[in-house]
Amino acid sequence: MEYTPQDEKLIAERFDGLLAACEKICRSEDDWALIRRAFSVAKEAHKGVRRRSGEPYITHPIAVARICVDEIGLGVKSVVASLLHDVVEDTDLTVEDISRMFTPKIASMVDGLTKISGVFNADTSEQAESFRKMLLTLLDDVRVILIKIADRLHNMRTLGSMPREKQIKITSETLFLFAPLAYRLGLHAIKSELEDLSLKYRFPDQYAEIEGKLEAAKKKRAKVMERFDEPIVAKLRENSVDFEISERIKSVYSVWRKMQSKQISFEEIYDLFAVRIVFKPSPVIPEKTQCWYIYELVTDLYPSRPDRLRDWITFPKPNGYEALHTTVMGPEGLWVEVQIRSERMNDVAERGVAAHWKHREASEDDPAGDERFDAWLGRIRDALSSPTENAVDFLDNFQKSLYTAEIVVFTPKGESRRLQKDATVLDFAYDIHSKLGASAIGAKINHKIESIYTTLKSGDQIEVLTSKSAKPTAEWLDHVVTTKAKQHIKNYLRKSTQGNVERGRALFEARMTELGIAPSARVFRKLLPAYNSPTKDEFYKNLGAGTISLDGLQEILRQNSASKYLKFWTLFQGGGDHSETDTPADELEIAECCIPIPGDDVTGYRDPATGKIIVHKTSCNELTRLASQHGENIVTGIRWSSHKAMSFLSIVSVQGIDRIGILLDLVGVITGELGINIRELKIQSHDGIFEGEISLYVASTSALNDLITKIKKIKGVDKAQRSR
Ligand code: MN
């Protein structure tokens, strides 16, 4: 157990190495003294203990401290906390001891580090919950998370001496949490190394194979890459750009992941190579302008793929990454990605958050940098602080949110907001404020009225339209992607569910009294299928929540049998006018994507899985997609039976100027039409505009068209059309 003289020599060497690295961060004698004291306290505390590799334990905290300085760019306090990071967990020293010997700040950092490591020894759900709490408290000091990442990196680098099942556990945590966290914190090099190491221990054979192939590709392409660089170097020099150029090759892990996700072979990956140009900015021209200038010089030499241009300068990545990327065609038909960055951008790309801090301290005259950093921190805090019922869900969502792509959209005042890709108007509204989200009824996207469910695109400008009477419904959950919106809606629904049942029952009973009908079992047998509600409670709940309305109630009750609503169509498949050869095709099904009704031109698609023929409108996009891929499954010759008078469900969307009485006119026109019954009427009205969807049963397209023509004639109606 006792350390040998060789051990002591090794420890001294490693510590000297750390001291040398600290030259660039120590500013005073006190700084040096603090680091030496932390070292001797830690060394004494871990005395006689060895790592699994056999090295004295203290070599681990030294290595972690070194990573903090060299690879992350942290300062003196972090070095001290790194040296002490395992002391409280593994030895008799307490946080109070540290506080007394050092400072309360350092003690709280060590405390944080001790707690996180406890997290990874608990079971999954407990682990998830503690992890969330931990990250939340640690956000006040991101350095603690950074040190924890350095700790994990060193453990990954020395994973070889661990038993197999430990390797699996540690690599899983690394891939699931630490790599995404490192990515989000902008530690690109560390993220990439964590992934590569995880792969190496998880799938050693595949790792070795890809590594070998990358080596070979590098050798084979060395000449080509040289030829690629030469003209760029000459051109940039000629234009007096001060720069460095280096060649990059994809990491083993990213090659592996691409092969997995796209199911392709190594040889099919075309973007293995990249060239990075890092320039020293001229003091008089803005960095951004210089990036585009270099871009122009490069694309003058090589043709670029316009679809591969990535402008991370105007809108940096969520993790703060800034650069201009383009992919150009090099010699011998080789696609090469060119990355253009200033020295500052490069620093941020390599060292993430820590570099932000450095630049933040260094230049008081860059308030933009400050804002970016604060915004970044704010987003992480948001992701963490949303209340969640299930800790494991949280972990999953958080992990996802670390990697998710983003879009940038604008408020009416031109302020930019970042949202997850596929975010909708509702996500946007909730992102601004939960009250705005909860009262949203529509939006003007680029000055055009759209529904709250509309998916946003980068560059959209959105004005949320609200109404005091609007409230979240369960359906909203299907139309949001952000954790924030989901949480607010869920909370609202949870709080209001019981109230909804009561409210719904009261509404229903009041209406029935009005109509003079007693709510019998027979009534419910008709109502529940018509309102798609499996139980009475469900019906009340939906009614109370406002997802269904009673506008069509009378019509539904007037029907002889609810079964009419279950069977909307009959289709015949056969040889045209030889009606005696027509056979009712039981295996026919109406396509849900386009819902054809009698009179529509239809085409069938035989589902290879079930053998059923799904009937689409011939103009349906989904049918087109299917036909382009599996033309052999297309079934023609399907036509509607003309001798059965039946009702078909259709949806008409209406939009117009709100005025008193318009709803009455609308209902009047519809119910006045022969053979048309309203199933559901959804109308939203706001700021003098109303929008609605009417689900109704019609006998044919011609009846529907007649109805639409009549609706359009109503004063104030601007637009009426069959939707879907
Ligand atoms: Mn450790």
What is the residue-averaged pLDDT of the chain? 80
Average pLDDT over residues 600-629: 77
Percent of the chain predicted with pLDDT > 90: 25
By CB neighbour count within 10 A (0-12 exposed, 13-18 middle, 19+ buried), where does 246 fall? exposed
**Per-range mean pLDDT, top range of 74-88, 412-426, 499-513:** 74-88
* Residue 60 Cα to ligand 1 middle (Å): 7
Please state, in angstroms and rounded to a whole number, the distance separating the CA atoms of residues 184 and 353: 9
Going across the sheet that includes 440-445, the strands are 448-450, 440-445, 462-466
* Residue 62 Cα to ligand 1 middle (Å): 10
* Residue 331 Cα to ligand 1 middle (Å): 48
Looking up tokens 């890092």 gives 278
pLDDT tens digit string along 9-35? 999 999 999 999 999 888 899 999 999
Indicate the DSSP class of residue 159: G
Q: Do residues 530 and 554 lie in contact, with contact meaning Cβ atoms separated by under 8 Å? A: no
Token pair recorded at residue 693: 């969807």
Does residue 424 register a pLDDT over 80? Answer: yes
Average pLDDT over residues 243-250: 91
pLDDT tens digit string along 506-550? 888 888 887 777 777 777 877 777 777 777 888 888 888 777 778
Average pLDDT over residues 193-198: 94
Instruction: List the single range of 117-131, 135-149, 256-270 with lowest mean pLDDT.
Output: 117-131
Selected catalytic residue, list 55, 89, 343, 538: 89
Task: Judge whether 90 counts as a catalytic residue.
Answer: yes
* Residue 57 Cα to ligand 1 middle (Å): 9
> What are the residue ranges of CATH 3.30.460.10 in the chain?
221-351
pLDDT at 494: 75
* Residue 151 Cα to ligand 1 middle (Å): 5
* Residue 526 Cα to ligand 1 middle (Å): 67
> What are the residue ranges of CATH 3.10.20.30 in the chain?
406-496
pLDDT at 568: 37
Q: Which residues contact 719 (CB under 8 A, 6 or more apart)?
A: 653, 654, 655, 656, 712
Average pLDDT over residues 685-703: 80
Does residue 583 register a pLDDT over 80? Answer: no
Q: Do residues 448 and 398 lie in contact, with contact meaning Cβ atoms separated by under 8 Å? A: no
pLDDT tens digit string along 453-510? 999 987 788 999 988 888 888 788 888 988 889 888 888 887 777 677 888 888 888 8
Does residue 393 register a pLDDT over 70? Answer: no
CATH class of 221-351: alpha beta
Q: Which long-range contacts (CB under 8 A, 24 or more apart) does 511-518 make?
A: 511/550, 511/553, 515/553, 515/554, 515/557, 517/557
User: Of 218, 214, 184, which is closest to residue 196 (Cα–Cα)?
Assistant: 214
pLDDT at 564: 30
Does residue 99 register a pLDDT over 80? Answer: yes
Instruction: List the single range of 106-110, 229-233, 431-435, 540-544 with lowest mean pLDDT.
Output: 540-544
Average pLDDT over residues 200-210: 90
Tell me, which fold does domain 5-203 have in CATH?
Hypothetical protein af1432 (1.10.3210)
> What are the residue ranges of CATH 1.10.3210.10 in the chain?
5-203
* Residue 207 Cα to ligand 1 middle (Å): 26
pLDDT tens digit string along 620-678? 777 777 776 676 777 877 776 544 445 677 889 998 887 777 777 887 788 776 667 77
pLDDT class of 90 with cuts at 50, 70, 90: confident
pLDDT tens digit string along 218-229? 888 888 888 999
Token pair recorded at residue 297: 């010089």
* Residue 86 Cα to ligand 1 middle (Å): 5
pLDDT at 598: 66
Main-chain phi, psi angles of 239, to 5 degrees: -100, 20
pLDDT tens digit string along 338-388? 999 999 888 888 776 666 655 554 444 444 444 555 555 565 556 555 544
Going across the sheet that includes 689-698, the strands are 677-686, 689-698, 648-657, 717-722
Does residue 196 register a pLDDT over 90? Answer: yes
Please state, in angstroms and rounded to a whole number, the distance separating the CA atoms of residues 338 and 352: 21
* Residue 64 Cα to ligand 1 middle (Å): 8
* Residue 4 Cα to ligand 1 middle (Å): 23
Beta strands in 67-129 (DSSP E): none
Selected catalytic residue, list 90, 209, 382, 422: 90
Task: Judge whether 509 counts as a catalytic residue.
Answer: no
Please state, in angstroms and rounded to a whole number, the distance separating the CA atoms of residues 264 and 511: 62
Average pLDDT over residues 36-60: 93
* Residue 107 Cα to ligand 1 middle (Å): 16
* Residue 659 Cα to ligand 1 middle (Å): 69
Q: Which residues contact 553 (CB under 8 A, 6 or more apart)?
A: 511, 515, 527
CATH class of 406-496: alpha beta
How many angstroms from the chain centroid is the CA of residue 517?
A: 50
* Residue 85 Cα to ligand 1 middle (Å): 6
pLDDT class of 581 with cuts at 50, 70, 90: low
Does residue 409 register a pLDDT over 80? Answer: yes
pLDDT at 119: 55
Average pLDDT over residues 716-720: 86
User: Reduced to 3 states, what is the DSSP secondary structure of residue 58?
Assistant: coil
* Residue 644 Cα to ligand 1 middle (Å): 77
> What are the residue ranges of CATH 3.30.70.260 in the chain?
648-722
CATH superfamily of the 648-722 domain = ACT domain (3.30.70.260)
